[in-house]
Chains A and B, each alone.
Chain A
Amino acid sequence: QDLAKKNTANRQVVEQRRRLLEEWVAWREQMKEMLDEEGIEVEVEEDAGQGKDADAEVEEIE
Chain B
Amino acid sequence: MRPILLQGHERALTQVKYNADGDLIFSVSKDHVVCAWYSHNGERLGTYHGHQGALWTVDVHPSSALLATGGADNTMRLWEVKTGRLLHTWEFATSIKRVEFSPDGRQLLGVTEKRSGHLSTIVVYEIDPDVDAEQTDEQSLRIVCDESKATVAGFSYGAKYIIAGHEDGTVSQYDAKTGELLLNITVHEPDMQITDLQWSADRTYFITASKDKTAKLVTTNDLEILKSYTTDTPLNSAAITPVKDYVILGGGQAAMDVTTTSARQGKFEARFYHKIFMEEIGRVRGHFGPLNYVAIHPKGTGYCSGGEDGYVRVHHFDKPYFDFMYEVEREQANL
Contacts and interface: CB of A to CB of B under 8 A. Distances in A.
| Chains A and B belong together in one complex | yes
Interface of A: 14, 17-18, 20-21, 24-25, 27, 31-32, 34-35, 38, 40, 42-46, 48-51, 53, 55-56, 58-60, 62
Interface of B: 1, 40, 157-158, 160, 200-205, 221, 226, 242-245, 276-277, 297-302, 316-319, 322-323, 326-329, 331-332
A53 B321 CA distance: 13
B318 A31 contact: no
10 contacts: A20-B276, A20-B277, A27-B226, A35-B204, A40-B157, A45-B243, A46-B201, A46-B202, A48-B242, A59-B319
B329 A53 contact: no
Contacts of B319: 56, 59-60
Given A50-B243, A53-B299, A59-B318, A24 B276 contact: yes
A1 to B, nearest CB: 25
Given A45-B299, A46-B202, A55-B302, A18 B157 contact: no
A18 B331 CA distance: 9
Contacts of B160: 38
Contact of A59 (B298, B300, B316, B331): B316
Contacts of A49: 243
Contacts of A14: 327-328
A21 B299 contact: no
Most buried by A among B40, B301, B302: B301
Given A49-B243, A50-B243, A51-B244, A44 B276 contact: no
Contact of B301 (A17, A43, A51): A51
Most buried by B among A42, A51, A60: A51
A21 B201 contact: no
Contact of A21 (B1, B202, B318, B328): B328
Contacts of A55: 40, 297, 299, 301-302, 316
B242 A34 contact: no
Contacts of A40: 157-158
Contacts of B331: 18
